[in-house]
Structure 1
C-alpha cells in the first residue's frame, strides 16, 4: 500500500481499499460503505493507485454496470472506468441510425443518447459520474495486465491496482486490408462517435456512396444515406440481405423497399479493391468480376471482432471468440469478469456457448454481472436472444421501418402478411416455436414476442400457414401457450 502523504490531496473517486484479500470478496453494502466513508474522513490526505472495482471499456455495458454499482451503494470512491473514448458511455446503436441523419432531419447528438436512456433510465452524462464519485479515465486505454499482481497499465503509463476487474471492451470493426485500399481517405468504419462524425462530414460533401456489407450496419447506413438524397449502392457477397437472420422471402421484401427508395443493390458480389483518385481520396470500388462502381464515400460494415486487447491470458474461447465466462460472467481468473460483446457465455436456453454483439445483451450482462459480484445473487444468466433494427426513420420518409426478433432462427419457417403494412416470420423446429420476427407491429404485439420465444409452445404449422393476417397468426401461437 502506498505511503500516506500529507502533501497529496485525495483524488476524486479513488478507493482507499488495497486489494489483498480474495478477489471474489462480496462486502456488505451498508457496513462497507460506512467503513469506507470513515476512512475517507480520517485519511483525506491519502492517495494511491488502488481501485476496489475497475471497469475496462467505456461502452454501453460499462455504463449499465456503473448504474448497477450505484444502485448497490458501492460506486462512490470505489469504482474506476478506464476508456479509450473521450465520452462517457452512450447508447451505441444511435451511431448508425439517427446520428447519420442530415441536419434538417433532426439528427441525434450527445448528450441526448448517453447511457441509460435506451432503456428508460437516467441519462448518465459526465457530470453524473462525478456526482456519483466514479472515477473516469478518458482516452487512456489499458495496454497490459499483470494478473499475478492484479495491476493494469494504461497507454499513458498509469498503473492501477484492482480488486475486482470487469472487462467490457466490446468489439472492433473488421477492416479491409490497407493493401486493397482499406485505409484510404473517404473510407469509413463505424464503432464510436469519432467514426460517425467523420462519416457525417463525408456525407455532407458526397455524391456517390457505396456501402459494403448487407448486415445491420450496411442496411442502416444505406437507409441513412437515402435521407441525404445521395446516389447509394449497397454491395455484399451473400445471396440476400441480412443472411444470418432473414429468410430469402423476407429479405426480398426489404430489398424491394430499399430499391423503391433509390438504393441500388449488388448481391453476390466480391470486392477486389478500393481505388483512389488522383488526389489520393477513394474514387471507386473494383469488384471481383473486374467492373467498377464510382464512389467518393465508402462505408465498410462487414462485421466486428471481440476486442480482447491485452486480456488473452484471461482465457479465450476459440470457437465463438471472446473471453470465456460462466453464467455469472466470471472468467477462469478469480476476480476478473467479462461482459457485453467480448464475453463468450453459456446461452442457457439453447445449451450452447455464444457471443452476442447487441445492445440488449450489453445492458443485461452488465447488470447481471455486477449484481452477482456485489450481492448474494447466484442464479446464472438466462438470456433470450433479441435483435432489432430501425431504418428510414427520418422526417419525410414515406415509410419508417422497425422490426424485432426474439429466439433462435432454426427449423422451418412460416411467413404471414404482405409487408404492407406488416409481416411476421415464425421459426418452427420439431413442432415447437423457436423464434419469431415481426415488422411494423403494435406495442402490444411486440411485447408478446419474448413470451412466445421463451415458452417455445407447440404450434399447429398447417393452421399457422392458413392465417390470413399477422394478427390472426399471433392469436394462433398465443393460444398455444
Structure 2
C-alpha cells in the first residue's frame, strides 16, 4: 500500500514553499499557557481549556490514528511530553497499527498463520515497542476512538468531531492519511461483495468474503492489486486482475520487469486482463456482486471484487489550511508546518518539499509516515531546525504464506528517471538501475540479501557516476551491484 502522488518520477513540481524559520521551545509541564511562533513571526497564545471541552489533555492533539500518529506518539513519549499533554483522535476502533499488514499477512488464509492485532500495533514495524491500547494508557495519552474530526475553527483553536464533541488544541498535528478511491455507487461501487481496503474493518470483511468466494476479481494493477491477488492465490481461488494500463505497477516497473512479475503470477494461476476499462459491476438477483462488465462488452464473473485503484488524501475537515492542487494533500514546509501557526501535517496527507529532488511531493508509504512523524515532533519539541530530507523508498512482499513455492520481496530506493539497465534472470534475483546523465538515480532489487538491500539507499542517496556499458555486461545481480559499489568508492576518492 504505497505510492508517490501522481507518479514516482514527476519532474516538474511546484516551487518550494517554505515559511521563515521559527523557534519552538520545549513547553514546561506545569505551564498552563504557551505560544507558538508562526510562519510569519506573529505569536499566538493558548490557554488551557476548561472542562467545557471533551478532551482532558489539550496541549497537543493528533488527528488520525494510523502509522504516523503512532510514531508521533512514541516521539512525544521519548521527549517526556506525552503524559497528561497528548490527545489522539481517531476514526478507527483500534490503537495505531502497521497498516501495510492489511494487504499482506493479514489476508493469509487461517491455516497459514495470518497476522492479527495486537501483533502489529506500532511501532513493531521498525523494531520498536508494541504500542497497545494499554501502552497509551500507561503513557498518559488520551485516546478518542471511532470519532473522526469533521471540522476546525482556527481562530478558536477547536475541533469538532462526528459525535458533536468539541476539542481544544494548542498544537495540532494532522495525520489523517488517505481514503480509498471508490467506484461510484451508480456503477455498483457499493454492492455487497465489493471491497476496499484501508483499515482492519475493511480487511475483516474481505476475509469473510474470501472464505466463501469462488471467483475473485481484483481491479487495479498497483500495490494493492498485486498484494491482494497474491493473497487470493493462497486461498486457492480463481483470481483475475483487471487494469487499464499495459503492465503491472507502471509508476515504477519497466515493461520488461513487470512482465517477469506477471509471468510469476500467471504461473500461480492468476489471469490478467490489461488495457481495458470497466463499465460497471453487475449484481445477481439477491443484490450481491456477480460480474464485472468491461467497456468492450466482455463479462467477467466474480462473487468477490476488490477495488485497488488508488487513494485520496483525507483533507475534507482541513481545506482552509492550504491544499496543494498538483500533488494533493496539505501544503507544509520542511518541518511539516502548515501556513497556519501551530498546525502541522504529517504522513500521507502532507505535501512536503522533497529536498534531494527539489520538488514538492506527497508520499503514501509507511516509511515516510514513520520518518515524517519523528521529524515533525522533534522539530516541535526541540531546537531541531534542519528540513526533512527524505529518500524515496518503496517495497512489496507477496506470496509469503506457508507453503508458497516462491516468496517475493523487492525494494526500491531513489528516483526512476533516465535510462534503464536490468541485470539478472529473476530466478530469483533481478536488479534494475535508472541512470540519468551518467548518475545512478534509482535502483530496485528483487530477492536481495540483507547486505545487498543495505547498499541500495547509499547508492540512491549519493548518486555516483556509473559506467552504464559495464553494467550491461554484468553476468549476475551480484556482479552488477559490485560495479555499483565500486562506483561509490571511486566517488569517495575524488
- On whether the aligned pair clears a TM of 0.5, the verdict is yes
For the residues of structure 2 that align with 1:25 and 1:347, how far apart are their CA atoms?
Answer: 22
Match for residue 11 of structure 2?
none
**Which residue of structure 1 lines up, in the alignment, with residue 195 of structure 2?**
188
1:94-119 alpha-carbon deviations (Å, 9 max, x no partner): 00000001100000000000000000
Which one of 88, 93, 108 corresponds to residue 100 of structure 2?
A: 93
Structure 2 matches for 1:8-19, cutoff 5 A? none
Which residue does the alignment assign to 2:366?
A: 359
Q: Structure 1 residue 288: deviation in Å?
A: 1.1
The 5 Å alignment of 1:149-164 reads 149-164=156-171
Counterpart residue number, 1:18: none
Q: CA deviation at 1:47?
A: 4.3
| Matched-pair contact (CA < 8 Å) for 1:169–1:308 | yes
In the alignment, structure 2 segments of 5+ residues that lack a partner are 1-21, 33-49, 489-494
The structure 2 residue matched to 1:105, chosen from 112, 119, 133, is 112
1:435-457 C-alpha deviation (Å, 9 max, x unpaired): 00000000000000000000000
For residue 132 of structure 2, the aligned residue among 100, 125, 131 is: 125
Asked whether the 8 Å contact 1:207–1:296 carries over to 2, the reply is yes
C-alpha contact (below 8 Å) 1:423/1:440 kept by paired residues = yes
Return the match for 2:476 from 463, 466, 469. Answer: 469
> Distance between the aligned counterparts of 1:452 and 1:254, measured in 2?
24
The total of aligned residue pairs comes to 447
Q: CA deviation at 1:33?
A: 3.0
The Cα offsets for residues 389-422 of structure 1, whole Å up to 9 and x where unpaired, read as 0000000000000000000000010000000020
Which of 278, 286, 289 is matched with 1:279 structurally?
Answer: 286
Q: Secondary structure at the match of 1:311?
A: helix
Partner of 2:247: 240
Are the aligned partners of 1:33 and 1:73 in contact in 2 as well (CA < 8 Å)? no
| Secondary structure at 1:310 match in 2 | helix
Contact kept, 8 Å, 2:418 with 2:435, in 1: the verdict is yes
2:412 is the counterpart of 1:405 = yes
**Structure 1 residue 431 corresponds to structure 2 residue 427:** no
Residue from 386, 389, 396 that aligns with 2:393: 386
Picking from 27, 33, 37, the partner of 2:29 is 33
Give the CA deviation at 1:34.
5.7
CA contact (8 A) 1:326 1:345 kept: yes
Is the partner of 2:363 in helix, strand or coil?
coil
8 Å contact kept, 1:72–1:374: yes
Is 1:202 matched with 2:209? Answer: yes
Structure 1: gaps (5+ residues): 1-23, 37-45
Partner of 1:5: none
Q: 2:145 pairs with 124, 138, 141, which one? A: 138
Pairing 1:77–2:84 present: yes
CA RMSD, aligned part only? 1.1
TM-score, with length taken from structure 1: 0.92
SS at match of 2:205: helix
Instruction: State the secondary structure of the residue aligned to 1:256.
Output: helix
What SS does the aligned partner of 1:205 have? Answer: coil
Given that residues 115 and 124 in structure 1 are in contact (C-alpha distance below 8 angstroms), is that contact kept between their aligned partners in structure 2? yes
SS in 2 for 1:480: helix
SS of 2:364's equivalent in the other structure is coil
* 1:350 pairs with 2:348: no
The structural deviation recorded for 1:68 is 0.2
Could you state the TM-score of these two structures normalised by the residue count of structure 2? 0.89
